[in-house]
Structure 1
């Protein structure tokens, strides 16, 4: 605060001409940087490419039919789960440690007791089957997706919208937002497609190395084409934001609009300059007061927090199969590994609570249903591999990192997201930013936590694109 006051006093102590020169120099420097960024981002598309991720050699032809799919379970599957839960060996937590060391085992016992004695997986399977599921073979993989059409109404426009999840989520994250999107909104409703990322849940895992976000984007574009959509909207968070961004880069003519609730901050001199000037003269670098509040002090609110929260990231980006052996074999270990993220990524302050604040935003039924999707499909290891495949090389040197995004884009910036990305940063990469909303509450799992807020922002963005 003293440095801020000193800088303000210095600035306002200058005469008018000196102030104008200083502001003019900053604006000119910003203009030069913006032009340089524009020059580097002239490429408007990235290659579509081709791939084969099935087992063995690629056949001469592939079945392109779409088949209905039903989530199923059995008494044997549930008995095996209960037997494994009953053999769990717990460790004692440190006193007054909350979730600061990870999932607190005292609260974990309560969650597991509910899982073992009250949670009804058969009932939740019926909930999952509330919406129509399908599978289709693309590039050698059985790709699972949900396809929901709005109630018939001859007076409304129906717009196709694909929602893409991330880790450690699943298609189930969107169940609370689905009714909100398929309703009639001023004569507009959405026909929603929700695929499972290959290697997640009911989508088959790749059998070959190298399956990254570009491959997932291509597969989902092929899925939309197979469903008969030539123009559509996209929405995603976490890995979903990168996959949908890649889709917009590959086929911008097909993507009417892209909406994301996790926007990765770019690097470069402009960002560095804004970090230096932003706390003191935010208006010079396009920061709002809320940007300043969320970003600074930068190291305490961002760098150190990211370091504390990304241990899993380094493991999964290097040796996912090693830790995967443990969590794939132990349901309790899997629950602790996944649900800890639903605690801290929802609100950073939850790590100070003995129960991790998990039941403030979610029910145990919802949380355990997401865990069961990973458990019953044995997909935790293949889902973790997605980190290694995307980070086996420097992601900033990939072609998609060097290519701008030119489709209409909307960003919903939730206050508890892992890292805040101001509008001025988002505009460096997303060069046709139609809307940018500083959301009032919520964290990383936006559709799961705050479905109404996210739905409202998606709807207002689409209406703006459609000029309604």
Structure 2
């Protein structure tokens, strides 16, 4: 098995960008929604505005240069090419940290926190809080390879991440994740590979199988959130978990369809009071969307739901563990639920703002939480 790590430089052919323009120019739009607001999905005028910017003002080469500037690499693990960013801190005692994104995110989610985490002094922080960062693209996402057979669920991905850190010669590291990144990091924590010192989450799906008859206020809130997700928000997940190939045809063929599929979630799951443009710029949203469009990842990313939807369940972790509750997150498990599963909680905190895309939405808060959590594990 080859363990070669190869530098990877993005240089998307102009023909692919021209094809995108061609498709955008020939979009067949549906009629306007019959209800006000977002109750039927993305409003026509909002998506038209985003797409008009994409067509006329968006500059992919800017994003391409940013990603190349971070340092991109590929290595083959378990027969699959894994793409990742690797940013080493200039500070000698930095601790390595593995950051894992989710759906509909990408490595773009972390672009605002890379500088403060790797070079805190340059951003008004303390060198003692520095991290080396490894930021992989999930299998079937971004510029990682697409699995050609079944079996690439979160458990196999977690094993691949442990192998990646071994290849990078990191013999002690920490890991962080939300959304699918949470499921992968939970699996890492359960597997407890040699070198993993601790984990931190900005999302945890840990509803107990058997709830007590009398719930306290925090438990009632969490149960209500989960019920709302199941009743109102989960249709996309059921579709991707049962028919990823079917939705994949639409996402592969229509850039506007791919954009709408992601734009709705950026609005619905962020702490934005219903206005995603107050949290994300068009450029930021489109950078993330482009990592799905350019590599035709609509179907391959959706298949992770088919593989691993059942992995969002309570699991016991005995490593040092931290959790930050962002108020706009899909679910907010009470600490007592965490204490029933995690024997070594070192950090459990509620913050004042932010949602599902924590590092993307509130980079300052995210950085502070990760620093505070893992400060306890430094030598």
TM-score, normalised relative to structure 2: 0.94
Give the 3-state SS of the residue equivalent to 1:317 in structure 2: helix
Distance change >3 Å, CA 297–CA 193, structure 1 → 2: closer
Distance change >3 Å, CA 297–CA 229, structure 1 → 2: closer
Give the 3-state SS of the residue equivalent to 2:349 in structure 1: strand
In 2, the alpha carbon distance for the partners of 1:297 and 1:146 equals 34
For 1:66-215, what aligned pairs fall within 5 Å after superposition? 66-95=5-34, 97-151=36-90, 153=91, 156-184=92-120, 185-215=126-156
Segments ≥4 residues shifted beyond 4 Å = none
In 2, the alpha carbon distance for the partners of 1:385 and 1:457 equals 31
Give the 3-state SS of the residue equivalent to 2:94 in structure 1: strand
In 1, the alpha carbon distance for the partners of 2:188 and 2:229 equals 30
- The answer to whether residue 322 in structure 2 is matched with residue 410 in structure 1 is yes
What is residue 167 of structure 2 aligned with on the other side? 226
Distance change >3 Å, CA 434–CA 423, structure 1 → 2: same
In 2, the alpha carbon distance for the partners of 1:77 and 1:368 equals 16
What is residue 6 of structure 1 aligned with on the other side? none
1:381 to 284, 292, 299: 299
For 1:3-82, what aligned pairs fall within 5 Å after superposition? 62-82=1-21
Distance change >3 Å, CA 191–CA 97, structure 1 → 2: same
Deviation at 1:272, TM superposition (A): 3.5
Give the 3-state SS of the residue equivalent to 1:327 in structure 2: helix
Alignment size in residue pairs = 374
Deviation at 1:305, TM superposition (A): 4.1
What is residue 178 of structure 2 aligned with on the other side? 237
In 2, the alpha carbon distance for the partners of 1:165 and 1:141 equals 18
What is residue 45 of structure 1 aligned with on the other side? none
Distance change >3 Å, CA 395–CA 235, structure 1 → 2: closer
In 1, the alpha carbon distance for the partners of 2:223 and 2:185 equals 28
2:255 to 326, 331, 341: 331
Deviation at 1:74, TM superposition (A): 2.4
What is residue 441 of structure 1 aligned with on the other side? 353
On the 8 A contact 2:95/2:378 being kept in 1, the answer is no
In 2, the alpha carbon distance for the partners of 1:67 and 1:296 equals 47
Distance change >3 Å, CA 110–CA 147, structure 1 → 2: same
TM-score, normalised relative to structure 1: 0.77
What is residue 189 of structure 2 aligned with on the other side? 248
Give the 3-state SS of the residue equivalent to 1:235 in structure 2: strand
On the 8 A contact 1:415/1:438 being kept in 2, the answer is yes
Could you list the per-position Cα deviations for residues 181-240 of structure 1 after superposition, in whole angstroms to 9, with x for gaps in the alignment?
112435231000001111001000111112100010011100001111121000000010
Runs of 5+ consecutive residues of structure 2 not aligned to the other structure: 121-125
Could you list the per-position Cα deviations for residues 264-301 of structure 1 after superposition, in whole angstroms to 9, with x for gaps in the alignment?
123233x344xx3314xxxxxxxxxxx37xx43954x4
Deviation at 1:395, TM superposition (A): 4.4
In 2, the alpha carbon distance for the partners of 1:395 and 1:195 equals 20
In terms of Rg, which structure is larger?
A: 1
On the 8 A contact 2:117/2:129 being kept in 1, the answer is no
On the 8 A contact 1:306/1:418 being kept in 2, the answer is no
Could you list the per-position Cα deviations for residues 329-350 of structure 1 after superposition, in whole angstroms to 9, with x for gaps in the alignment?
1000100001110000003852
Could you list the per-position Cα deviations for residues 337-383 of structure 1 after superposition, in whole angstroms to 9, with x for gaps in the alignment?
01110000003852xxxxxx121100100100111111110111100
Give the 3-state SS of the residue equivalent to 1:157 in structure 2: coil
In 2, the alpha carbon distance for the partners of 1:395 and 1:465 equals 27
2:269 to 342, 345, 349: 345
Deviation at 1:250, TM superposition (A): 1.4
Distance change >3 Å, CA 277–CA 122, structure 1 → 2: closer
Between stretches 302-311 and 240-249, larger displacement belongs to 302-311
On the 8 A contact 1:67/1:136 being kept in 2, the answer is yes
In 2, the alpha carbon distance for the partners of 1:297 and 1:428 equals 16
Runs of 5+ consecutive residues of structure 1 not aligned to the other structure: 1-61, 280-290, 351-356
